[in-house]
Amino acid sequence: MADRKPLISGNWKMHHNHFEAIQTVQKLSYELTKEDIEEVDVSVHPPFTDLRSVQTVLDADKIPILLGAQHCHFEDKGAFTGEVAPNMLAKLNVDLVIAGHSERRQVFGETDEEVNAKVKAILAAEMTPILCCGETLEEREAGTAGERVTAQVTAGLKGVKAEQVAAMVIAYEPIWAIGTGKTATPEDAQEMCATVRGVVADLYTKATAESVRIQYGGSVKPGNAPDLMAQPDIDGALVGGASLDAVDFARIVQYRNAV
What is the pLDDT, as a whole number, of residue 178? 75
The full set of domain ranges for the chain reads 7-257
2 pLDDT tier (thresholds 50, 70, 90): low
53 pLDDT tier (thresholds 50, 70, 90): very high
The sign one gets for the Cα dihedral 42, 239, 20, 85 is: positive
**Residue 131, C-beta contacts closer than 8 angstroms, at least 6 positions apart:** 99, 100, 115, 119, 153, 156, 157, 168, 169, 170, 171
234 SS3 class: coil
Please choose, from the candidates 136, 137, 132, the residue with its C-alpha nearest in 3D space to the C-alpha of residue 110: 132
The rounded distance, in Å, linking the Cα atoms of 142 and 164 is 33
Q: Which amino acids are annotated catalytic?
A: 101, 173
Task: Write down the CATH superfamily of domain 7-257.
Answer: Aldolase class I (3.20.20.70)
106 pLDDT tier (thresholds 50, 70, 90): very high
pLDDT (tens digit, 9 = 90+) per residue, 22-43?
999 999 999 999 999 999 999 9
**Residue 23, C-beta contacts closer than 8 angstroms, at least 6 positions apart:** none
Q: Which helix (H) or strand (E) holds 97?
A: strand 96-99
Return the bridge partners of 131, or none: 99, 170
CA 239 to chain centre: 8
Average pLDDT, the chain: 96
What is the pLDDT, as a whole number, of residue 259? 54
Mean pLDDT of 88-116: 97
213-216 and 7-11 beta bridge pairing: unpaired
Please choose, from the candidates 61, 118, 129, the residue with its C-alpha nearest in 3D space to the C-alpha of residue 94: 129
The pTM score is: 0.96
What is the pLDDT, as a whole number, of residue 199? 98
CA 9 to chain centre: 6
pLDDT (tens digit, 9 = 90+) per residue, 209-234?
999 999 999 889 999 999 999 999 99
What is the pLDDT, as a whole number, of residue 181? 74
The rounded distance, in Å, linking the Cα atoms of 127 and 104 is 19
Say whether pLDDT at 206 is over 80: yes
What is the pLDDT, as a whole number, of residue 31? 98
How many alpha carbons fall within 13 Å on the CB side of residue 86?
A: 22
How many alpha carbons fall within 13 Å on the CB side of residue 47?
A: 12
pLDDT (tens digit, 9 = 90+) per residue, 124-158?
999 999 999 999 989 998 999 999 999 999 999 99
DSSP 8-state symbol, 76? S
Mean pLDDT of 7-17: 98
